[in-house]
Each structure stands twice: as structure tokens, then as C-alpha cells.
Structure 1
């Protein structure tokens, strides 16, 4: 596997995201986030009204804005210049009370009071130094606070493409760690056990693991060849846990 650093990965994400793409996904993300990731994240977090929530790796800020719309006091952290600038500029226009901080998750600055919840959506699988990032998320919580993260499911990373091409899912490697070439920037394959064992080592209590499937009606309406694979197999893995306390 290529020796990636956090800084190199951040530069790749920074250059890959155009202002046009960020504007197109500014409300609730892309198709997969709208239909598979966001609904489960919001269900796991429950009522966030009045809660202090960290959106860890907030990207263009869309999930921060969704949380703020539901009454949360939101801090969004994003290291990439282009994504951070879009999030900050959008907040300047909307004035939802979101505080955006430009920083790496693995090297979080002082963010004030501890958080009731930390949401880390579609980030950990894109970070070379993912373990310090997960630790920082957990350490930002108050005792008993909730940590929720979403990643591409390590067992089904190439789901849509292989199903479209072969009419079934195919995977040749699982246990090894390796780089995956992505549309915007690389992801890094690690088995599910790596994430869950790291969570346990941080003293977290597992609450729920979710593997959402796509509504068949949504798949049919989309008209995208191969998208029915999301009905039958989970392309995303979401985990909810609580910090000791």
C-alpha cells in the first residue's frame, strides 16, 4: 500500500471538490447520503435539540446544517481548504450559528466544552491516521456522550461497480489493509474488526451497528443500472457507541 500521510490525503480532497459539486450537494449530500447514510445517522443520534454536537470531518458542512436545523449547537471540523471555505461561506449567508474550525481530526485543537455527541460521517476510511482521529472524537465527548460514525462497508466497497458489470458482487481481498482508488481521493480498506476493536480499546460501549439497504422503490425510480445492488447488500456501515462515564 502506498505510504499516504494525512496531509497528502487532505490535499487530494481539497483539489478534487469543485465549487459546483459542493453547491450541488450542499443540502443533504449525494444520492447515497440522502437515501442510506443520513436517515440512519439522524435516527441513531435521536433528538439533538439543545445538544452540543461535533461534526467531525464535516466536508462542505451539509450534515452540520442538518443538525443545526434540528436545534443542535454544532461545531464542524474540516481540514481541506476548499471544503472549509464553502462551509464557512454558507454559514455567513445562512447564519445558523454553526462554528466551523479548520483542523485535522487527528490533531484537534481546543474546541471548548465537551460534546454530547460526535458524528463522523464517511471520514475514517479516508484517513491514513484513522486511529488518532477516532481517539480524538471519543476524547471530545463528555462522559456518557455518543459517538456515531459511518464508513463505506469494508465487505462491500466495490458494490455498485461490480454488480453493474457482473450482475453480482465480487471481492477478492478482505483481511489485508490496502488503498482503494476513489473518484475524488483514495479510501483505505480495513476490516470491520479493526474499527470495532479500536472502539473497544478506547473504552466505548457499543450501542448499535447498522447496515442500511436501499428502498426498492427508490432504486427503481433512479433508473441507474446496478443500483439494485444497494437493495440486496449494504454499501455502508454505521456504528453508534457511548463513551465511558
Structure 2
């Protein structure tokens, strides 16, 4: 039986991301975040002016900076040395008032009281022991606060690679949990029910579930540089969830 990786081991893997890869994602993330994830997250969060927002697992801080530019009072939590340092450097240069804290999500320190919203984008699927991290996100909210998270869609995680190989999408395993190697670190497959049932167990009410598809015009513009990108028009590569803490 394969031993389950620890959260600390996963954090060390994510520390492998080189600085040039972080700089390439300025100012609003990579292609998928720019066209599929960010617009949905921002719509779900609504007007954030004057609201306390926790960016849980903020990475190099691009979404924290987007939220601060929209008037939110942002705290970003990131466990890795490299991405945390990069986010701090950007804050020192831009002076947006973002407070960055280096910590693992499952072991959050005192962050100064409850938040109006917590966003956890493309993080939970990268955490081996993910339930304590989700619990910490929910517990950081005030009653009625909004928890928004995104993950690779568990039914279509390897959409682009399989589409390129076969001209369609093929999935052979869904119900069990397993590791998916990525460029710098691993993600962990879990069925949709795992995330939604844990939300319910934590006392949250589901407000919306989104499965965004790529605009066909954007796909046409990108197809020369990204073969198979038309798959994003037909199938959702991402799952985005908004829930309210009761």
C-alpha cells in the first residue's frame, strides 16, 4: 500500500516552483485562471469593498492583489517559502495593504477575528490531508460569511492531455482517491462528493456550483499555441463552489 504524502512533504514540493514561473503569471495568473477561474471567483464574491477577505493558500499572491485593487481588506496565507517571499516583495513594492502570513492552512494562527469571505483557489486538491484545511477556512468565517473554492474538476482533471492523445476525453478511475503528478508537485484526485459532503459536515449551505467553459472565440485565438484547447469549450476542467457558513 502506497504511503500517503504528508502536508509538509507537499509544501516542500511546491517550493520547487522557480521565480520565473511566478513572474510569468503576472498580473492575473495563467491562461486558465484568467479566462475560466478568476471571472467566476470574482462574480461569486461580489462587491468586496471594505470587506475582510482571507486568500487561503494565496501562492504568489496574484488574487490577493486583485482583491485589494477592488477595495477588500486582504489577508493572504501561504506556507511555501518561495511564493510567500514573492508575495511579500510585491506588497512592499505596491503597498496595497495586504497582510501576508506564512502558515499551513490546517494550522492557522490568530488572523485578527472572523472574515466576511474566504477564497481558496486551486489549493485543496494539492493538500494531502485536506479536511483540516477546509475546516480552518470555514472556521475563519463569521456566521453568514462566504467560502469560495476552486479545484480541477474531478471528472475532467486531465482534460487537455487526454484530448490531445485521443481527440476526446477518457476517464478510467473516478471513485477512488489517487495522486496526479504535475510539473512541480502532485495533486490528489477525490470525487466531487468528498468536497461537498465535507462542506455539509462543516455546517455550510451550498449557494452555487459552477463548471465554467471556455468562450469559443478565446479557444480559436489560442489553438495555434495550445493544441487541444477546444476541449475547454466542450467540457469543464474546473469546479468552483460557493457556500455560506451557517
Give TM class, smaller chain. over 0.9
Deviation at 1:2, TM superposition (A): 4.1
Task: Identify which of 218, 227, 240 aligns with 1:238.
Answer: 240
Question: Retained in 2: the 8 A contact 1:2–1:179?
Answer: no
* Equivalent residue runs for 1:24-35 within 5 Å: 24-35=24-35
Matches of 2:3 and 2:230, distance apart in 1? 33
For 1:225, the equivalent position in structure 2 comes to 227
> What per-residue deviation string (whole Å, max 9, x for no partner) do you get for residues 174-200 of structure 1?
000000111121000000000000000
Deviation at 1:113, TM superposition (A): 1.6
How many residue pairs get aligned? The number is 243
Structure 1 unmatched ranges of 5 or more = none
Matches of 1:162 and 1:179, distance apart in 2? 17
Q: Compute the RMSD of aligned alpha carbons.
A: 0.6
User: 3-state SS of the aligned residue for 2:143?
Assistant: strand
TM-score when normalising by structure 2: 0.98
Matches of 2:163 and 2:156, distance apart in 1? 11
For 2:42, the equivalent position in structure 1 comes to 42
Matches of 1:182 and 1:107, distance apart in 2? 25
Deviation at 1:26, TM superposition (A): 2.6
Misfit runs of 4+, over 4 Å: none
* Equivalent residue runs for 1:36-115 within 5 Å: 36-115=36-115
Question: Retained in 2: the 8 A contact 1:152–1:236?
Answer: yes
For 1:22, the equivalent position in structure 2 comes to 22
For 1:3, the equivalent position in structure 2 comes to 4
Matches of 2:189 and 2:109, distance apart in 1? 28
> What per-residue deviation string (whole Å, max 9, x for no partner) do you get for residues 24-63 of structure 1?
1131000000000000000000000000000000000000
Matches of 1:231 and 1:174, distance apart in 2? 22
For 1:146, the equivalent position in structure 2 comes to 146
Deviates more, 1:216-225 or 1:206-215: 216-225
TM-score when normalising by structure 1: 0.98
> What per-residue deviation string (whole Å, max 9, x for no partner) do you get for residues 115-137 of structure 1?
00000000000001100000000
Question: Retained in 2: the 8 A contact 1:58–1:76?
Answer: yes
Question: Retained in 2: the 8 A contact 1:163–1:169?
Answer: yes
Matches of 2:182 and 2:169, distance apart in 1? 18
Matches of 1:120 and 1:183, distance apart in 2? 21
